[in-house]
Amino acid sequence: MVGDGEIYLATISSNSSNFSHENDRVNKRLENMEKTQAIKKPSMRKKARRYAVQGIYQWHLSGNPIKDIEQQFLESIKSNKVDIEYFQTILMNTLGSIHQL
């Protein structure tokens, strides 16, 4: 005959096992996300915005093609310190729709 205490311990043990399994699954998903998607720090986006504004200003003063200015910035900025995709998006979308501004 099984007592109430033994059933309770069996239930706790079963729930702990399920929790541990779920925790492992969540950790694996987080690891995969980190591998496939670089985590961008807010400072990286801040620098990207600053460089984009500088690029827009340079385009305004020089009249050089957007692609040349973009290439110049891409060669000079450190990609591990700046969100490059965000920089390109801001620069291209702003200058691409300058006539609407």
- pLDDT on residue 12: 47
Q: What is the pTM of this model?
A: 0.58
Q: Name the percent of the chain lying above pLDDT 70.
A: 61
- CB proximity list for 53: less than 8 A, separation 6 or greater: none
Q: Average pLDDT for residues 46-56, to the nearest whole number? A: 95
Contact predicate 92/66, CB 8 Å: yes
Query: How is residue 60 written in tokens?
Result: 């305004």
Please tell me the distance from the alpha carbon of residue 84 to that of residue 49, in angstroms, as a whole number. Answer: 10
Domain boundaries, the chain: 1-37, 42-100
What is the rounded distance in angstroms from the CA atom of residue 95 to the CA atom of residue 68?
A: 13
What confidence tens digit (pLDDT) does each residue in 70-81 have? 999 999 988 888
- Can you tell me the distance from the alpha carbon of 32 to that of 43, in angstroms, rounded to the nearest whole number? 23
79-97 pLDDT tens trace: 888 999 999 999 999 988 8
Count, residues in the chain: 101
Contact in structure between 49 and 90 (CB atoms under 8 Å): yes
The predicted pLDDT at position 91 comes to 92
Query: Distance between CA atoms of 7 and 63, rounded to whole angstroms?
Result: 79
